[in-house]
Structure 1
């Protein structure tokens, strides 16, 4: 029986064109619609032009509205899978937000393009075809939200954009893709062991993200101390270490009850409370900072935003980040 797949277009390079001066701009009409006839051999596809935004314009609130729209469409029309076309700059964030907040088992697949619709070697059509094929494949159920690019299938939790322009930009450091798309079949070789779900009405928590650099000035944190922030994510050095000069400012945030999640600015590995010196991971753990495992900064921020809707207790937040 032919699978019913919903394609939701949200904009991005896949829906843009390049002009004679090599400026890439959004189109008035979605270029994705032109790909529609190519999808008919793989599934019964319904295409909806939801929004048309460059992905830097996407916000957590828009992600949440998209989540609600997906749930509504699945409830009303019983689709077998959903594909979302999205700009690549924030695609991994939308994918991970949906992965955390959608309580469904049908395949949800995000894809897009690195080359605009009228550019030589445009990758949008083949990525969309691969995404539809993945969403229609029964093996894709119960694997969480997926990202399909360049004939690879990645888990939303692990995938990240690694190159500014290469069509193979989406990679999963440490873990690799969970599957591939060949000419005749979709193939999985491993899958995420666990799924997380956070019921959230709206992601309203104010959570900044900062990156550790050599010689950080503690005054940079004064704004965070004075303003009503709900949490902070810090991309620390290496295994999870920070310049000692900023620790008093961070202690003031912790004393105010503001959770600080620590991740690494390295794109491989996890933060650990190993180094025992001033500013080392062991001291940071003793101060009460929450270790974010192997998540990158942008994903840890989203997870803290949705987790804060469940609890503000530091110990309970650490348990959630240990999952």
Structure 2
């Protein structure tokens, strides 16, 4: 019999709501119904890592997930499922994928409705995640997110609705597979994954905020910051990765001082460019000043990659090379 280790971090899937259908909060008893011992002839064991809303998931929690997931595979588990709140699920999937060095699937899932809500989606999502974790077609795909019977790659998945049970999509290729009863049906064959990073996921990540570009936003918040305040910076720019002309000297000053700067785009689809526009604040102007473009990565995923790179002591050239792997 196949076996799956279910590791839980909390989120709506492990919450209950009040009689009026409001006030959802963590419920320590929800796991009993969501982690049965057998699903579709797959033996499932459950271990709680924590039970918090996903905005409170921290790198040390994900470090524990990686350690427990690796141990489970070494002890014979076919795959691993992680239950997680949906708010930051895409970020945790991306960060875990940088370090997941096993062929077995590591599958994240969650729910949009609390465990005691009418039509709760948690049980079906857990079932589909378990099916994916043991599916032969899912092996070698790295960390996956399973929601509403769709399977998403960690690098591409993003939450696109704050309310719908069909809350996730993938940019630019759509879900990689659909969940079947005995396997997952691949919709396309993804590119080969980059090699996983050596070592353990850091328990603490560097200070890298995200600032949003827009009309009248010159990033004046950067003026007068004491030296060493920022370890790095990500800007959620507009269009293909653009900022206001008056923001450029501020970003250039950070780069000159040795603080890496990455510009992503706040637009959900299309990513950043490195060649389409050439005016003050455009991608070509920013690149000429040492700013790195995020490519297909969202601002939140670009932040995580930059944080990981900083922890390894990566210099500017290495940072550019790492982000080039996500370029359009």
Decide: shared fold, TM above 0.5.
Answer: yes
Counterparts of 1:156 and 1:179 in 2: how far apart (Å)? 13
Residues 184, 136 of structure 1: alpha-carbon distance in 2 compared, 3 angstrom cutoff? closer
SS state at 2:155 partner: coil
Aligned residue pair count: 320
Q: Which residue of 1 aligns with 2:25?
A: 25
Q: Which residue of 1 aligns with 2:36?
A: 37
Instruction: Normalising by structure 2, report the TM-score.
Output: 0.92
- In the TM superposition, what is the alpha-carbon distance from 1:316 to its structure 2 partner? 1.7
Equivalent pair of 2:9/2:57 in contact (CA under 8 Å)? no
Counterparts of 1:264 and 1:223 in 2: how far apart (Å)? 25
Counterparts of 1:71 and 1:235 in 2: how far apart (Å)? 34
SS state at 1:253 partner: helix
- In the TM superposition, what is the alpha-carbon distance from 1:248 to its structure 2 partner? 1.5
Counterparts of 1:65 and 1:303 in 2: how far apart (Å)? 19
Q: Which residue of 1 aligns with 2:65?
A: 66
- In the TM superposition, what is the alpha-carbon distance from 1:311 to its structure 2 partner? 4.1
Counterparts of 1:170 and 1:213 in 2: how far apart (Å)? 26
Instruction: Normalising by structure 1, report the TM-score.
Output: 0.94
Equivalent pair of 2:5/2:69 in contact (CA under 8 Å)? no
Q: Which residue of 2 aligns with 1:8?
A: 7
- In the TM superposition, what is the alpha-carbon distance from 1:230 to its structure 2 partner? 1.6
Counterparts of 1:243 and 1:50 in 2: how far apart (Å)? 43
Q: Which residue of 1 aligns with 2:213?
A: 212
Name whichever of 190-199 and 168-177 sits farther off.
190-199
Of the three residues 85, 99, 102, the one matched with 1:101 is 99
SS state at 1:261 partner: strand
- In the TM superposition, what is the alpha-carbon distance from 1:219 to its structure 2 partner? 2.3
Residues 241, 268 of structure 1: alpha-carbon distance in 2 compared, 3 angstrom cutoff? same
Counterparts of 2:45 and 2:189 in 1: how far apart (Å)? 28
Q: How large is the RMSD of aligned CA atoms in angstroms?
A: 1.7
Counterparts of 1:49 and 1:61 in 2: how far apart (Å)? 14
Q: Counterparts in 2 of 1:77-226, with a 5 A limit? A: 77-183=75-181, 185-196=183-194, 197-201=196-200, 202=202, 203-222=204-223, 226=227
After superposition, give the CA deviation of every residue in 1:138-173 in whole Å (9 maximum; x if it has no partner): 111100100000010000100000001100011013
Q: Which residue of 2 aligns with 1:315?
A: 317
Q: Which residue of 2 aligns with 1:262?
A: 263
Equivalent pair of 1:10/1:86 in contact (CA under 8 Å)? yes
Residues 40, 281 of structure 1: alpha-carbon distance in 2 compared, 3 angstrom cutoff? closer
Residues 135, 184 of structure 1: alpha-carbon distance in 2 compared, 3 angstrom cutoff? closer
Q: Which residue of 1 aligns with 2:306?
A: 304
Q: Which residue of 2 aligns with 1:272?
A: 273
SS state at 2:51 partner: coil
SS state at 2:255 partner: helix
- In the TM superposition, what is the alpha-carbon distance from 1:224 to its structure 2 partner? 5.0
Structure 1: tracts of 5 or more residues without a match: none
Residues 224, 116 of structure 1: alpha-carbon distance in 2 compared, 3 angstrom cutoff? farther
- In the TM superposition, what is the alpha-carbon distance from 1:281 to its structure 2 partner? 1.1
Equivalent pair of 2:14/2:28 in contact (CA under 8 Å)? no
